[in-house]
Amino acid sequence: MDRVSARLEDLPIRDDLRGLTPYGAPQAPLPVALNVNENTHPVPAAVADDILDAVGQALAEINRYPDREFTALREGFADYLGHGLTREQIWAANGSNEVLQHLLQAFAGPGRTALGFGPTYSMYPLLARATGAGFVAGTRASDYSLSADDAAAQVERAAPDVVFLCSPNNPTGTPLRLDVIEAVYEAARGIVIVDEAYQEFAPRDERSALTLLPGRERLVVSRTMSKAFAFAGARVGYLAADPALIDALRLVRLPYHLSALTQAAATAALRHAPTMLAMVDDIVEQRDRISATVSALGYTPYESWTNFVLFSGLDDPKAAWQALYDRGILVRDVGIAHSLRVTAGTEEETSAFLDALASL
């Protein structure tokens, strides 16, 4: 029987989704993939064995629905984050993107707006629009930093229902001072989300936005296990906030949204937090090595508190990306003029990238 395939534009899709393109990064079987800020270190064998045991135990009851409140996992996150947090202040979902989606479903939606300071994480506008909300693109200084006065002024003018603050910022790696978060919170009428996906790669003596939570019921601090915990394939994100805000998220989440296998694997990994985080120091060392070497090669690296480096000075980023690709190195063109972004991998992967870049 002949099959007729419709085009997307022929379908009765929502008007506000027409013309949009889905989020995506190139995936290619190259020897060195440094384009999506994964932790390229494998999970240590002893930790992997414990995770497998936990998943095996969960399989024995896989015929039953999982704990809807993922109690053990929330307790694990509260213990890991510290700062006196309790499980009542913790939420989790399938990756930090779903965490952010829950927040937008509860506090944004049709007739409301979200604001982010570009260039920043490209999923913010996509998530906002997918939930029916508008998106306002704020601006940054030429070095991609934000000042407290300017950020607060932009929030006051736009009056958004949700503000995204990426700390440190993706895709630029830029640090965010706590006084900026405080100023934005005072200027905002809605909730303020501080996305700390890369916080573990910041200097150890720098305070997290978690320290600002007491007394700020509209403040949210989101995290992920994808980066520092090398858990990108497990899809586990989480946040800390006031218990009342957590209650709001229960209104929009799907029933049993975290599988028993996901809960078991993440809870087991958290038990090994010191071991899992031991690789962070090596990643930071490779990040700083990238910054120093690309600078010596004549490019301009931007300050980074993440596991990646954005560097500029490329006459033709697309040609440079292709040349690296042809040498087996996958990096990211994030659409910033004359710039490319590269993840800090293992020592061997970093050396391969730097050697390839030097050969261009």
Summarised one tens digit per residue, pLDDT across range 75-108 is 999 999 999 999 999 999 999 999 999 999 999 9
Prior bond of 168 cis (ω within 30°): yes
Whether residue 2 is predicted with pLDDT greater than 80 in this model: the reply is no
Return the pLDDT at 25: 73
CA atoms of 217 and 241, how far apart (whole Å): 7
Choose the weakest-confidence range: 18-22, 35-39, 76-80, 318-322: 18-22
**Count of CB atoms within 10 A of residue 244's CB?**
10
CATH code assigned to 25-43+275-358:
3.90.1150.10
CA atoms of 219 and 95, how far apart (whole Å): 20
What pTM value is reported for the model? 0.95
Judged on CB neighbours under 10 Å (0-12, 13-18, 19+), 277 is middle
Q: List, by residue range, all CATH 3.40.640.10 domains of the chain.
A: 45-271
pLDDT digits (tens, 9 = 90+) for 54-70: 999 999 999 999 999 99
**Count of CB atoms within 10 A of residue 259's CB?**
16
Length of the chain equals: 360
Q: List, by residue range, all CATH 3.90.1150.10 domains of the chain.
A: 25-43+275-358
Return the pLDDT at 241: 98
Return the pLDDT at 5: 75
DSSP state, 18? T
CATH 3.90.1170.50 fits 45-271, yes or no: no
Return the pLDDT at 238: 98
Question: In this structure, what is the dihedral angle of CA atoms 201, 203, 205, 210, given to the nearest 10 degrees?
Answer: -40
DSSP state, 208? P
Choose the weakest-confidence range: 113-117, 241-245, 276-280: 276-280
Region 285-297 average pLDDT? 98
Region 36-44 average pLDDT? 95
Model confidence at 1, pLDDT cuts 50, 70, 90, reads very low
Region 235-251 average pLDDT? 98
Model confidence at 34, pLDDT cuts 50, 70, 90, reads very high
CA atoms of 238 and 90, how far apart (whole Å): 7
